[in-house]
Structure 1
Amino acid sequence: MSSGSSAVDVVLVGVDGGTESIRVMCTTRQGHVLAAASAPYATSYPYPGWAEQQPDSWYSALCLAFKQAMQALTLDQVNAIKAICIDTTCCSVVTLDASQEPVRPCLLWMDMRSGVEHTEKVLQTNDVALRVNSGGSGPVSAEWMVPKALWIKENEPSTWSQTAYLGEYQDFINLKLTGKWIASTNNTTVRWHWTRGNPPLSLLKALNLEDVVEKWPAEAIAPGEVVGNLTKGALHDLGLPQDAEIVVAQGGADAFIGMVGLNVLRPGELALITGSSHLHLGVTDSGTSSGEGVFGAYEDGLMPGVHVVEGGQTSTGSVVAWYRRLLGDGVSYDVLNEEAAAIPIGCDGLVCQEHFQGNRTPHTDALSRGAIVGLTLKHTRAHIYRSILEAVSFGTRLILETMRDKAGYRPTVIVVAGGVTRSPLWLQITADVVGVPLRLTKCTDAPSLGCAILAASAIRLYPSVTAAAESMVAVDRTIEPNMEAHRAYEPFYRAYVDTYQATRGVVAALRSTTAAQT
């Protein structure tokens, strides 16, 4: 830790608790990054479809990464730390006993053990709380809180009886830091079926799950509100001075807090979070929009007055990575992008369906599969690569059209974060296909910056979260759509849409044949 002087008067700490590691980022009140560090933790997979982590490993990793980040700060900057905020993976369910010790490993967000049995039980209640699941038509994901809680109660009664606190990664970390058991309204609204801070009592009664309310946090507050101050124990664990007074601001689900870090907070704006998958989070001016093929609208889903509609593509960047691996280590993305840029729109009659791991929205079909249609001897590796980029962009357009037709939501600008931003070709294809400008921000770590913004708002450096985001998020550039190219994509987009219906029967037949052989 340096002992030099610094003109920085306030340091804000944003923490992003991800699937494989936790990242700590220290910023100024203007959003300039001063230091960052991360620390990993392990995931275990006891059975197919199960995924577990040890809650204590999250806290240990946080303390390690925090201390590493502080090594890059001056002593004055460490003393200037005034607020911290954490986002985490969503629906990573924690069970704690009366002493606040874990009863069992966490059921990680990707854990699917509740499967069809418990999600169907939830859906068959036809409760009004399910309107956020495609207008009530479902499905309900096995990732969500209620199916996981139901699985624990029905399959591990001993765990259930020992559990005094049942919550999320988010709640556990804030409990360790402040001693307060308080949920985030972001998590409860988008994944717990709560409405305006209230649990879904009729849904829980129908499932014989009313006793979960006694285990859930009794209070939920919005992102940017104050959970409490760091305790003496937390100050010690993080390597901070014992006389420090540091506020802990409420965070939420990582991708949603990423909306804050992208300054996507106004009706008509949409955050496109890209990586192995795509997540589409749009801000709407009404909490009443919902419909088949769309998740939400979540009333006050991000924070009061910020309602959110949601869509997603299960496999996007993961399909691109799969294809590059097939070509071997000697073929780089730069080479593929250069080759694909020379291929015409529509790839000389080649259409790809990117459902390699199923479809999340709008079809919500976990059994759908990928396809490459129209292959001829003329086609090259560049044709196939470009067809994958086009397919992912077509899938995004289909989601946006479903949001428009089923939920009345139409984005005017899309702010992009993640892997797609590293490919100018893919960015331009996406803009041309959807026909909407794409905005890129300078800070690529949107969730961590979002937490820093929430921390700044919590200690009133700015009058609101919106004002803080406006000051702390810097726009890098905008990708304008080429509307001539947009029109040229039209017949190929329609072919993409038709491909799903055309391949459903074939995929089902193959699945039946494979099952019979095994």
Structure 2
Amino acid sequence: MRDLTIGLDCGTGGARALVADRTGRVLAMAVRNYPTTHPHPGWATQSPADWWEAACGAVRAALLQGGIARDRIAAICASGTSSTMVALDDALNPLGEAILWMDNRASPQARRIEATGHPVLRRSRAGFSAETALPKILWLRENAPDVFGRSRWFVEMADYLALRLAGELTLGQNLTTNRWFYDPRHGWPEDFLTAIGLSGITDRFPARMPAVGEVIGPLQPHAADAMGLDCETLVVAGGTDAYVAMVGLNTLRPGETALITGTSHLVLPVVAEDIEVEGLFGPHPDCVTKGVFVMEGGQVSSGAVLRWWHDLLHQGQDGYDALLAEAQSAPPGAHGLVVLDFWQGNRNPFTDYDLQGAIWGLTLKHGRAEITRALMESVALGTANILDRLTDKGIPVLAMTLAGGVLRSRFWAQMHADATGTRLRIPEVGEATAFGAAIAAAVGAGLHPTLETAADAMVRIRDEIHPDPARHAQFRAQLDFYLQTHAALKPLMHRMAALTQAAAALAP
């Protein structure tokens, strides 16, 4: 009996495979990591071959861990990081490394796209994101014409995984809607693509664009062998990791908001109306489910900032528990330290990839504990800054359902509740992206009729975290310093970004 599904979440750090039944019970989960390279400042790349090896290894390990027979797996669904762009040749092979979502080399192209002022940019009022695929494609055309000339198709990470799984070339509708300015109700904005210098580029976009939960086809033999599955398993369309996580959190209806945390953070409110919020992306129509819109506010580097600090201190050893314990020993406000969490620029609400991280207020009194706490508080303040934009537009966020890395630390989760003044709902399954992919796979396999009914049946909330009023008041004062620091340092950061970009252009 095929009564189980696999959710495959290929994130920034590695691949996670989760096996679940139709009631939402998780039977097994396994992780396999892969590296990121940074060839120049602001650049970030990964190998598609590494993704595939890790994905296969994670699935095999999960099946072994749970003692699960291959003939019980009804379907598999893969999600991937958003705006991680892969160029494919005529034979559907990657042309070198994938350009990772956090790579901001295309900032000049993004600024030029923004300068067109095209009406389609209403979904990106704060500024055009250098993370997205279109400026990256334009960067290839202008800076790597040989690669661009040999590129037959442009897809994203989740599409490449679907290609390896099912042997079918697709471009997920969720991905194109939330990042490529595709509108499921109206199609591609061809005049916009022409205006930005990519006329005719849709000929290099796969025509098949499945929605989340739609069947792509059966697992092809070589993929089945590599994963320890069989060809009766269906491959179901996923999408952007954070949007698939909305399924895993059951935040699919108006008035519900997901807070996805990890290497980056995303605030994803669902709204019924076509509402613009300055500083946020969206509204994205029919992005996950039909008939509603999703807004998006994100932080490029959130968990990545803490990992950077951890790795500097611990050099390959796992020291997170000690690091967090030290941070808890420091007082709120970290004795006057102010940090901007812009290690890879800012996605929202400033949408400025020429910003950099900053720490000020250091004295000889400060130690590791205070610096760690200040770094963590800066990430929570970045989330609060995004929520303020929603509140200013009359969209109050009274609660957020939390997923990802922050769940591993009650201390850091409480910090987010205090900084935002918002109640956090804690799900039973914290790995929301892999779980959401398993839920989408259950819909594709016919175990549930819709994403909404599947999430209702499979997702459960186990706890809530409430903000502390006194700490929230203190965070509001800290947010003022955060915002004034951004305003003061922005001109200097732009000058420094221009210097580093010029140096990168001259590098061999």
Give the TM-score of the pair, scaled to structure 1: 0.85
Q: Deviations over 1:198-233 (max 9, x none)?
A: 222011122342322112111322101111222344
Tell me, yes or no, if the aligned pair for 1:15 and 1:86 is still in contact at 8 Å.
Answer: yes
Distance 1:157 1:511 in 2: 24
The partner residue of 1:231 within 220, 240, 254 is 220
The partner residue of 1:22 within 3, 12, 15 is 15
Counterpart of 1:24, as a letter, is A
Q: Deviations over 1:377-414 (max 9, x none)?
A: 776654444444333322211110112225x4322211
Distance 1:322 1:74, change over 3 A: closer
Q: Residue 55 of structure 2 aligns with which residue?
A: 62
Q: Deviations over 1:165-203 (max 9, x none)?
A: 322222222223323322211100111111126222011
User: Following superposition of structure 1 onto structure 2, how do residues 118-517 of structure 1 map, counting pairs within 5 Å?
Assistant: 118-133=109-124, 135=125, 137-138=126-127, 140-196=128-184, 198-241=187-230, 244-291=231-278, 293-321=279-307, 334=321, 337=324, 341=328, 345-347=332-334, 350-372=337-359, 382-406=369-393, 408-504=394-490
Distance 1:11 1:212, change over 3 A: same
Q: Residue 33 of structure 1 aligns with which residue?
A: 26
Distance 1:155 1:86, change over 3 A: same
Q: Which runs of 5+ in 1 are unaligned?
A: 1-7
Distance 1:324 1:57 in 2: 24
Tell me, yes or no, if the aligned pair for 1:166 and 1:212 is still in contact at 8 Å.
Answer: no
Distance 1:332 1:308 in 2: 37
Alpha-carbon distance, 1:14 to partner: 0.8
Q: Which runs of 5+ in 2 are unaligned?
A: 503-508
Q: Residue 104 of structure 2 aligns with which residue?
A: 112
Distance 1:389 1:337 in 2: 9
Tell me, yes or no, if the aligned pair for 1:185 and 1:303 is still in contact at 8 Å.
Answer: no
**Percent identical across equivalent pairs?**
39
Distance 1:113 1:466, change over 3 A: same
Distance 1:510 1:101 in 2: 37
Distance 1:493 1:188, change over 3 A: same
Alpha-carbon distance, 1:456 to partner: 0.8
Tell me, yes or no, if the aligned pair for 1:223 and 1:454 is still in contact at 8 Å.
Answer: yes
Deviates more, 1:396-405 or 1:297-306: 297-306
The partner residue of 1:84 within 76, 85, 96 is 76
| Greater Cα radius of gyration, structure 1 or 2 | 1
Distance 1:28 1:199, change over 3 A: same
Counterpart of 1:203, as a letter, is F
Deviates more, 1:253-262 or 1:330-339: 330-339
Q: Deviations over 1:264-303 (max 9, x none)?
A: 2222222222234322222222233232x21222122223
Counterpart of 2:224, as a letter, is L
Counterpart of 1:120, as a letter, is R
Counterpart of 1:146, as a letter, is L
Deviates more, 1:476-485 or 1:445-454: 476-485
Aligned residues: 502
Q: Deviations over 1:483-504 (max 9, x none)?
A: 3443354433333333322444
Tell me, yes or no, if the aligned pair for 2:27 and 2:66 is still in contact at 8 Å.
Answer: yes
Counterpart of 2:297, as a letter, is G
- SS across alignment from 1:456: helix
Counterpart of 2:72, as a letter, is A
Q: CA-atom RMSD, angstroms?
A: 3.4
Tell me, yes or no, if the aligned pair for 1:287 and 1:300 is still in contact at 8 Å.
Answer: no
Give the TM-score of the pair, scaled to structure 2: 0.86
Tell me, yes or no, if the aligned pair for 2:381 and 2:475 is still in contact at 8 Å.
Answer: no
Q: Residue 5 of structure 1 aligns with which residue?
A: none
